[in-house]
Amino acid sequence: MTGFECRQSFLSWLALEKRASPLTVEAYGTDLASFLGFLTSHLGGEPDLTALVGVTQVDIRAWLASLANDGLVNASRARHLSAVRSFFRYLARHHSAENAAVKLVSTPKTRRPLPRALTPAVACGVTRNIGAMSDRAATKARDTALFTLLYGCGLRIAEALALNVRDAPRPGDDGPLRVVGKGSKERIVPVLPVVRQAIAAWLRLHPAAQPEEPLFLGARGKRLDAAVAQRTMRSYRQQNGLPEHATPHALRHSFATHLLAGGGDLRSIQDLLGHVSLSTTQRYTSVDEARLLEVWRKAHPRA
């Protein structure tokens, strides 16, 4: 069994049994292709299962060094190494091909950047005013509804654009929004009245408001592309002099940061965001600490 056949077997298992998202499978496939391509050159031939068992710490470090020479930062190299470790765990469990070397290589140290939120005034201004970027009434209503949903419910842009008309929260209906997030995991998010009203205003102008139709449509009647929403936000940002980090995803960061500042507990915010690990949500505590420190620096007479 060649290394690339092992890779394909692993990716099939990842997609079919682990039910990983297509983007996750694609990312793992790319990282493993890089690793196996390096081994082909490094070992003088395409590795088979036996050669993979014989890969040493020196080989893996040489591969990581080659990635660094190609300009990959620590975070990217850590992701590549994580994919390779998952690959070798699969080989050990499903093909009895144990290799301890990959466990002994240290992960490149990374420091995840802190989430960068907008101020409450700026975030609310986006939801109220972004519709003015278009002259068409339907586009105004659509963009207002989309960006109000992003900030009001803390959704990822892909999650919002994946919704269909039947999923839309309506005025007078107090039920939560069911969102399918990363890894096809469903979560329940409460919906503010202002979000329901914005979506209702858009649905009144929706050109095909049937239950199975996409909630947010583009100009050609297909599901709205995330690039269009990002471009709209970029134009709004430039027109209003906002910082570069004012993106659709910044509204999700703002949702979490503002909830935390308002007394929300981390576990609840974790559930609302759909984070698997609490440590991911804990990054927002550092954001709040940084904000308090900045207030202290500006306000304290001896700062």
Q: Which of 24-38, 78-92, 285-299 has the lowest mean pLDDT?
A: 285-299
Query: Is 156 a residue of the active site?
Result: yes
**Average pLDDT over every residue of 153-169:** 94
Query: Is 222 a residue of the active site?
Result: no
User: One of 156, 196, 206, 253 is an active-site residue; which one?
Assistant: 156
Tell me, yes or no, if the pTM score tops 0.85. no
Q: How many CB atoms lie within 10 A of CB 231?
A: 12
Query: Is 275 a residue of the active site?
Result: yes
Q: Which residue segments constitute the domains of the chain, with CATH numbers given?
A: 3-104 (1.10.150.130), 120-252 (1.10.443.10)
Query: Is 182 a residue of the active site?
Result: yes
Between 265 and 5, residue with greater pLDDT: 5
pLDDT at 269: 86
**Average pLDDT over every residue of 4-11:** 94
pLDDT at 248: 96
pLDDT tens for 245-284 read 999 999 999 998 888 888 888 888 888 888 877 777 777 7
Helix/strand/coil percent split, the chain, to 5: 65, 5, 30
Query: Is 236 a residue of the active site?
Result: no
pLDDT tens for 123-133 read 999 999 999 99
| Residues 9, 13, 14, 16, CA torsion sign | positive
Maximum C-alpha span of the chain: 70
pLDDT at 229: 96
User: One of 77, 80, 206, 249 is an active-site residue; which one?
Assistant: 249
**Average pLDDT over every residue of 108-117:** 76
Site of tokens 């100009």: 219
Question: Taking 70 as the threshold, does the pLDDT of residue 303 lie above it?
Answer: no
pLDDT tens for 223-242 read 999 999 999 999 999 999 99
pLDDT at 292: 58
Between 150 and 281, residue with greater pLDDT: 150
Confidence class for position 198, pLDDT limits 50, 70, 90: very high
Q: Which of 9-13, 151-155, 168-172, 289-293 has the lowest mean pLDDT?
A: 289-293
User: One of 42, 79, 182, 291 is an active-site residue; which one?
Assistant: 182
Query: Is 302 a residue of the active site?
Result: no
